[in-house]
Amino acid sequence: MIEKSYYPSVNELMAAQRSRRLLLSFLLAGVVLSIFGAMVVMAIMSERMSALAILTAGLGIFIAMAIPVAIWNNPRVGLYILLACTMVLEAFPMDMNNYPAPTKYIMVWPSVNSMGRQFGTTALDPIKVSVAELILLLTVLSWLIRSIVKRDLKFEKGAFFWYVAAFMATVVNGLVYGIMTGGNSTMALWEVRSLFYFFFVYIMAANLITERKHVDILLWITIIMVGVRSFLGVHAWSVLGTETVERRYKLLEHTDSLFFTLLFFLAFILTLSNGDKRMKWVTLLLVPVAIFSTLMNQRRAGMAAFFVAIIPTILILYSVLPHRRKQVTRFLVGLALFNAVYLPVAWNGEGAWALPARSIKSINNPSERDASSDYYRLMEDTNLKLTRDIRPLLGVGFGIPFGQFLALPRLTTDFLQYMPHNSVLWIWMRVGHVGFFCFMLMIGVVLIKGIHIVREVRSPSLLTVGVLAVASTMMLFAFAKYDLQLCNPRTMVMVAMFVGVLSVLPKIQAQESEREAEEAKPA
């Protein structure tokens, strides 16, 4: 198919291309000179900055200028950047006090004003958005404007749009009601920002991930960036030493334990589905590092999420891969035999190697430390339920601290007065019975309809991302019951990305089948 040209002659077309190249050359020269000038100013005005710091700042300025251009030329790049940042960068880098992570200075998720205060300036206080939100906004606007200009705007809702939209409608109602009834507007926005991430990332994934090669890029980003994060866990352990395990210090963020499990699921799915061999072997090589970082990170909730998702995932693969049922059965038998030996040996163990067994044991017989943590959460849950019952139908809204019917210990942050550990009860309290029904309906539809969608696809890459979407949704719900995950931007972006792709897998599979049919036709 020959594209229509808007130039009356070839000479005019070539002249326009030369003018465009000349303009781009001038723009590039201007960018380089601007960055060099900024570096010279920093060198003159700040004697404490080393040459490496100045070069790093210059690189940061270049990246900050290049990202908008890249997203404008291809809005899909914005999704890739967001997913990479999700997997490797901390949502709350200011909390990384035990381990000075090299990534803590790349502040994509905190608000720009928080970033400014971290570096000792109040000049950025009026800017209350984050870099991630700017990237997402630019992605949405670039996609929308380019589609309108090209007159090919097609809004792909995907299989789950109306369920997600119904839940988000209750969130908007809770936000407005909470602020109108005297809630703290700043805290209310902190609470809902991750839920809005979920909504817009879902929409963008459903509309921008349109081919199998796009899915492959998402999977590679996940594997590489989670692998990098796993090696950061090893580095953190080498820096902090064995006292990390003995004192139960966290190496990385709680959310990282959830991401590390993705590598195990990816390795398992790719192996059974005969997926991309390079992808499979890279993942298999990274799995031991991820397991080590998971154990050292000491997160019971991460283990619980894994246990909740692993058996259903195995059963899904047993259903959708009938030619691999022998291998799935062997894995189940092997897993059962391993647990029959491991659990009795590790049941009373204290090291990190015993964490999986201890996470199961702590359900009925927690250790002193775990019991203290569980007791705090039980008191917190009681307060959440009693606060919910103040306005049960539509919820108390966002931005209002939950009631202290049972007095909780005073903590170092006020955030836990608004965003408690149990994110599921938090949602119920904020949006009431109506909103919680919409939330559970959304989760249920993704799980049930998602499995049916996975059964329709044949491409290993599409199967992999589909099963990963279902598994990550299960893990999100399980993790959210124990930790602050529904208000964590990294978790919500990751799940929204996979669920958005899952929602359009039949369409991508149909295009893939058409392409294969065209290639199979005799010349």
Distance, in Å, from the CA atom of 64 to the CA atom of 69, rounded to the nearest integer, reads 9
Banded model confidence at residue 41, pLDDT cuts 50, 70, 90: low
- Is the Cβ–Cβ distance between 463 and 216 less than 8 Å? no
Asked whether residue 259 is domain-assigned, the answer is yes
Phi, psi of 487 (to 5 degrees): -115, 20
Closest-CA residue to 223 (of 259, 275, 251): 259
Q: Please tell me the distance from the alpha carbon of residue 414 to that of residue 124, in angstroms, as a whole number.
A: 22
Domain assignment of residue 302, yes or no: yes
In a domain, 279, yes or no: yes
User: What Rg value do the Cα atoms of the chain yield, rounded?
Assistant: 25
What's the predicted TM-score (pTM) here?
Answer: 0.84
List pLDDT tens digits, range 260-281: 888 888 988 888 888 788 988 9
Q: Which residues contact 436 (CB under 8 A, 6 or more apart)?
A: 427, 428
Specify if 12 maps to a domain.
Answer: no
Contact 395, 411 (CB under 8 A): no
> What total number of domains does the chain contain?
1
What is the spatial distance between Cα 293 and Cα 230, in angstroms, rounded to a whole number? 6
Task: Tell me the sheet residues that pair with 130.
Answer: 111
The whole-number pLDDT of residue 403 equals: 79
Residues 6+ apart with CB under 8 A from 493: 82, 83, 86, 132, 197, 198, 201
Lookup result for tokens 């959708």: 320
Q: Output the six-digit token pair for 510.
A: 């149909």
Residue 130: phi and psi, rounded to 5, are -100, 165
Residues forming a β-bridge with 111: 130
In tens, the pLDDT along 489-505 reads 889 999 999 999 999 99
**Listed range (115-124, 151-160, 304-313, 378-387) with the worst mean pLDDT:** 115-124
Span 140-163, pLDDT tens digits: 999 999 888 888 788 889 899 999
State residue 170's pLDDT score.
95
φ, ψ of residue 147 in degrees (nearest 5): -65, -40
pLDDT at residue 63 greater than cutoff 60: yes
Average predicted confidence (pLDDT) for the chain: 79
* In a domain? residue 231: yes
Report residue 469 CA to chain centroid gap.
11
Cα separation, 303 vs 299, in Å, equals 7
In a domain, 121, yes or no: no
Is it the case that residue 118 has pLDDT exceeding 80? no
The domain in which residue 470 lies consists of 159-516
Q: Is residue 242 part of a domain?
A: yes
Contact 406, 379 (CB under 8 A): yes
Residue 523's Cβ-count burial label (10 Å; 0-12, 13-18, 19+) is exposed
Residue 197 located in a structural domain: yes
